[in-house]
Amino acid sequence: MAYVLKSNYMEDPGAVNQGGCFESQNDTRVSEFHLIGFADSTEHRRSLLLGLFLSMYLVIVFGNLLIILAVTLDPHLHTPMYFFLCSLSLADVGLTSTTVPKMIVDILTHSTVISYAGCLAQMTVFILFACMDDFLLTVMAYDRFVAICHPLHYQVIMNSHRCGFLFLLCFVASLSDSLLHNLIVLQSCCFKGVEIANFFCDPSQILNLTCSDTLSSDIVTYIGSILYGFLPMSGILFSYYKIVSSILRIPSRGGRYKVFSTCGSHLTVVCLFYGTGLGVYLSSAFSLSAGKGALASVVYTVVTPMLNPFIYSLRNKEIKSTMFKVFNKAISSRSF
C-alpha cells in the first residue's frame, strides 16, 4: 500500500524554520501520520478484526456502564470502594473510546491517515485515561489496606471529602503527565517519519519519531516513568504487603479467606493491568513487527478493560445481586 506523504521538505539542509529549529534534508515536517498497525492485513482478516473489535468495544461499554448503573441505583453500594470502581469503569470506557472507534472507522474506510492535531489529541486523551487507570488502582489498593488493616477507623479515614480529594489528585496527576507528553511533542520542529507501527498514536512511538533533542525528552520520559509507573506500583505492593501481613495474623482459615476475598477482584485486575502493560513494554524492547506490536497493545488497551467488568461482577456478590435486581425489575416492567 502506497502512503501519500503530506509534508514539506526543507531545500536547504541547514535552514532554520520560523520556530528557530534547524532541520536537515532527512527531517520531515508532517501534517498527518499513518497508523500501520493492521495496514497489511488481508480483506478477510480486516473483516475479522472489524467484527472482533466492534464486539469487544460494545462489551466494554455495556459492561462498565452496567457496573456504574448498579452502583448508582443501590444505596448499599455507595461506599468508597464502589465509588473508585465506578471511576475505574469510566476511565476504561474513556480509554477504549479514544482508540477503538477510530480503528473501526479506519478498517471500514481502508484508511490509515490521522491528522497531526488528531494524533496529538488522541495521544493526550489516551495518556490521561491510562494514567487514571494506574492511579485509581493504587487508590483502590489503599482503600483495601485501610479497610482490612484499620477497620475501626475506616469510615473516618475514607470519608467523602477524602475520596473526592483522592479522585481529584488522580485526575490532576494524569492530566499533568498527558500535558507533559504533549508539550514535548509540540516542541519538536519536525519528525523523522510519519508511520506509527500501531493502531493508535502510541506516545512512545511518537516521541521516537521526533527529531528534537532526545536527551531532554528521554530525561523527562524516565522521570515520568518513575513518578507515574514505579511509585504507583510501589504503593500497590506496599498496601498488599500490609494486607497479607494482617491476613496471616487471623487464626481461622475461613476468616483469612473471607477477608482476602474482599480484595481478590482488585488484585486480579492489578495483575492483569500491570502484566499486560509490562508485556507491551517488553515487546517494544524487542522491536516486534507492526502487526505483532499492535496485537500486544490490543491486550493492554482493549482486552484488559473488557475483562474488568467480568472480574468485578463475577467475584463480587453485592454487584451480582444488584445486577440481578436491575434485570428482574427491567423484565417485570417490560412484562407489565
Q: State the DSSP string of 53-115.
A: HHHHHHHHHHHHHHHHHHHHH-GGG-SHHHHHHHHHHHHHHHHHHHHHHHHHHHHHHT--EEE
Length reported for the chain: 336
Tens of pLDDT, residues 249-283: 877 777 777 777 777 778 888 888 887 777 666 65
Which grid cell sits at 128? 490521561
Band of pLDDT at residue 335, cut at 50, 70 and 90: low
Ranges of each domain in the chain? 30-306
> Could you give the CA distance from residue 188 to residue 29 in angstroms, rounded to a whole number?
9
Q: Please report how many Cα atoms fall inside a 13 Å half-sphere around the Cα of residue 231, on the Cβ side.
A: 13
- Predicted pLDDT of residue 289: 53
pLDDT at 175 over 90: yes
The answer to whether the beta carbons of residues 118 and 212 sit under 8 Å apart is: no
- Predicted pLDDT of residue 214: 63
pLDDT at 332 over 80: no
- Predicted pLDDT of residue 271: 82
DSSP code of residue 27: -
More reliable by pLDDT, 26 or 44: 44
Show the DSSP H helices in 150-202 as ranges: 154-157, 160-187
Which grid cell sits at 10? 526543507
Angle between helices 80-109 and 43-73 (to 10 degrees): 160
End-to-end CA distance of the chain: 57
The answer to whether the beta carbons of residues 96 and 302 sit under 8 Å apart is: yes
Tens of pLDDT, residues 84-113: 999 999 999 999 999 999 989 888 888 888
Residue 153, φ and ψ in degrees, nearest 5? -105, 10
| Of 56-60, 76-80, 161-165, 188-192, minimum mean pLDDT range | 188-192
3-state secondary structure of 310: helix
Q: Which residue has the cell 500501531?
A: 198
The answer to whether the beta carbons of residues 136 and 88 sit under 8 Å apart is: yes
Percentage of residues in the chain with pLDDT exceeding 90? 23
DSSP code of residue 153: G
Between CA 255 and CA 259, with CA 258 as vertex, the angle to 5 degrees is 85
The domain made up of 30-306 has a fold known as Rhopdopsin 7-helix transmembrane proteins (1.20.1070)
Residue 8, φ and ψ in degrees, nearest 5? -120, 115
The answer to whether the beta carbons of residues 80 and 163 sit under 8 Å apart is: yes
Band of pLDDT at residue 293, cut at 50, 70 and 90: low
35 strand-pairing partners = 196
Stretch 23-52: mean pLDDT, rounded? 74
DSSP code of residue 12: S
More reliable by pLDDT, 242 or 187: 242
> E strands of the chain, at which residues?
7-8, 29-30, 32-35, 113-115, 195-196
- Predicted pLDDT of residue 5: 38
Percentage of residues in the chain with pLDDT exceeding 70? 79
Band of pLDDT at residue 314, cut at 50, 70 and 90: low
pLDDT at 197 over 70: yes
- State which amino acid sits at residue 2: A
pLDDT at 142 over 50: yes
3-state secondary structure of 16: strand
Tens of pLDDT, residues 58-86: 999 998 998 898 888 888 888 898 899 99
Q: Which residue has the cell 499533568?
A: 176
Average per-residue pLDDT for the chain: 79
pLDDT at 325 over 70: yes
Compute and round to an integer the Cα radius of gyration of the chain.
23
| Of 36-50, 132-146, 217-231, minimum mean pLDDT range | 217-231
Residue 34, φ and ψ in degrees, nearest 5? -120, 120
> Could you give the CA distance from residue 166 to residue 175 in angstroms, rounded to a whole number?
14
